[in-house]
Amino acid sequence: MDKREKAKKVLDILEQEFPEAKSALEFKNPLELLIATILSAQATDKLVNRVTPELFKKYKSAKDYALAPIEEIERMIGSVNFFRNKARNIKACASRIAEVHNGKVPDKLEELTELPGVGRKTANIVLGNAFGKNALAVDTHVKRVAQRLGLTENDDPDRIEADLCKIIPPERWTRTTHLFIMHGRTTCKAASPKCETCPIKDYSVYYKTEYKRIRKG
């Protein structure tokens, strides 16, 4: 079975498993999602969702963040890991949006990735979820699931994104992110994947090789 066909079968099954899969971050507009996504690096979505309501109430526009004292932003996001770095990135990113993009979060990948602290993953999350564009974001779950299924041989997230985008039709890119994240969180866990009960084990290279080898050993 070629990778294109395998990806289709896997996504069809995961759609059945997780029809409700969507971003766990809470937001009402592109700016809120951008800020929440910056905060979510190496932090849980749950923690981010605890911090953002107060933040979003206080700062409503890119200019608000740009004008806010950095110490104030730091204090408001203080429970999130790397809060100092993140506060700096949020302020720098918002300043650029205010100055260069007239206060509006850009809806193009090239423009988003030019913002301070915004990489392809964050940009694709914003494009796919706040702008409804076709965008495949590769986080740690997407990377692990894609590798274990044998849909990519690469380790670099940008290359994995390119590999997946070659074999998955654009209209399924955003869903692929949500479905692989849900599958990675619930079944294909990093340390102990639940391979025996996995609904896509027939398509998993890891299951046929590593998992069976470990079980035998």
Cα–Cα distance list, 204 to 58, 112, 115, 137, 189 (Å): 47, 34, 37, 21, 14
97, 149, 160, 182: which one binds ligand SF4 (CB under 6 A): 149
Asked if 66 is part of the footprint of ligand SF4 (rule: CB under 6 A), the reply reads no
Question: Does the footprint of ligand SF4 cover residue 173 (CB under 6 A)?
Answer: no
108 assigned to active site: no
The residue range among 36-44, 117-125, 165-173, 204-212 that interacts with ligand SF4, by the rule CB under 6 A, is 204-212
- Selecting among 6, 86, 139, 201, the annotated active-site residue is 139
Toward ligand SF4, which CB reaches closer, 54 or 202? 202
What ranges make up the beta strands (E) of 26-168?
none
How buried is residue 19: exposed, middle or buried, by Cβ count under 10 Å (0-12/13-18/19+)? exposed
Q: How many other C-beta atoms are found inside a 10 Å radius of the C-beta of residue 13?
A: 17
Task: Work out the number of other CB atoms within 10 angstroms of the CB of residue 157.
Answer: 18
Nearest distance from residue 75's CB to ligand SF4, in Å? Answer: 41
Please tell me whether residue 195 binds ligand SF4 under the rule CB under 6 A: yes
Query: Residue 198, interface with ligand SF4 (CB under 6 A)?
Result: yes
Cα 57 to chain centroid distance, Å, stands at 24
Does 207 engage in binding with ligand SF4 (CB under 6 A)? yes
Active site residue 45: no
Residue 87 identity: A
Footprint on this chain of ligand SF4 (rule: CB under 6 A): 148-149, 187-188, 193-195, 198, 200-201, 204, 206-207, 211
